[in-house]
Amino acid sequence: MIGVVVGGLLWAIFRSREPAYRGRALHHWVAGYSYAIDRGRFTPGEREQAIRKMGTNSLPYLLNWIRYETPPWKSKLYGTVNPALRRLKPSWEFNDRDAQVRADGAVFALITLCPEADGAVGELSKLVKDPAISPAVRARVANVLACVDPRSWNDPIMQLRVRERP
């Protein structure tokens, strides 16, 4: 019992404090770009207003989320465990859908923050040129750069990196 209380206190003290708007944390607003069910709750204008109100405080989270890619070990785990789970109950499965949705939604949120997202252009430019990132991450980042900083398309290295296939 004491361990649970101590664990809860440590979690409350050290957890990341995402920006929030109207009682909803940033990740909820960002996920709404991808989830059809959430689109009915808020209009695109309300979503954009929320992202803009949270402003540049959102950048560290969005820049982290846009980098997400499923690690190979997780893909193997899902491929091994999910068939057995589906035999027990067809709707059961392990996945990282929430992380994927946040990654994709981060693209739209960063575009919504334009021109406030100008402060992220340097980091995004470095990221799109990083040979270690996956094509999916590179495409996400390139989409943001194309909207936030159209001049980046004049960079021949970026053009080559975006077109590269592993």
Name the least confident of 14-23, 33-42, 102-111: 33-42
- pTM of the prediction? 0.76
Q: How far is CA 122 from CA 63, 90, 104, 115, 152, in A?
A: 11, 45, 20, 14, 10
Of the two residues 111 and 43, the one the predictor is more confident about is 111
Q: 78 pLDDT band (50/70/90 cuts)? A: confident
Question: How does residue 64 score in pLDDT terms, banded at 50, 70 and 90?
Answer: very high
Task: Check pLDDT > 50 for residue 160.
Answer: no
Mean residue pLDDT of the chain comes to 81
Low-confidence winner among 28-37, 84-93, 153-162 (lowest mean pLDDT): 153-162
Q: Which residue has the higher pLDDT, 5 or 63?
A: 63
Domain boundary assignment for the chain: 19-163
